Amino acid sequence: MTFESLKVTLKKRKVTMLLTPPYMLETFVKMDKGEIFEDVRQLFIGGASVIGLSYEKVRKIFPNAQFFMGYGSSEADIITFSLSAKEGSSGKVAANIEVKVGF
């Protein structure tokens, strides 16, 4: 599916929930032509950490969407999750998960 066909599908099918990696949202911002996807109510972002993504710009494109952030290894399940995504954050550590930073 091309980016243009995704946009057509979102509009035509009145998609209300979208699960996407951060790079796709970056593409929406970079290719922004003033299009607004008002039907999207839930926007799940996962698959990679979110660094440098402008939530303000994404919110203009998806004004009615509630942002959900998940980050972690697919094999190990979600490590962090946020019901109110904040710029520069991947959420809080999930219950019963211990996180160690370092090598």
CA–CA distance from 49 to each of 11, 43, 85 (Å)? Answer: 27, 15, 12
Element spanning 56, H or E: helix 55-61
Residue 98 vs residue 42, higher pLDDT: 42
Beta partners for 70? 81
Domain parsing of the chain, residue ranges:
13-93
Mean pLDDT of 59-87: 68
pTM for this one?
Answer: 0.69
Residue 39 near residue 15 (C-beta atoms within 8 A): yes
**pLDDT one-digit tens code per residue, 13-34:** 999 999 888 888 889 888 989 9
Class of domain 13-93: alpha beta
**pLDDT one-digit tens code per residue, 80-102:** 555 555 666 656 666 676 666 65
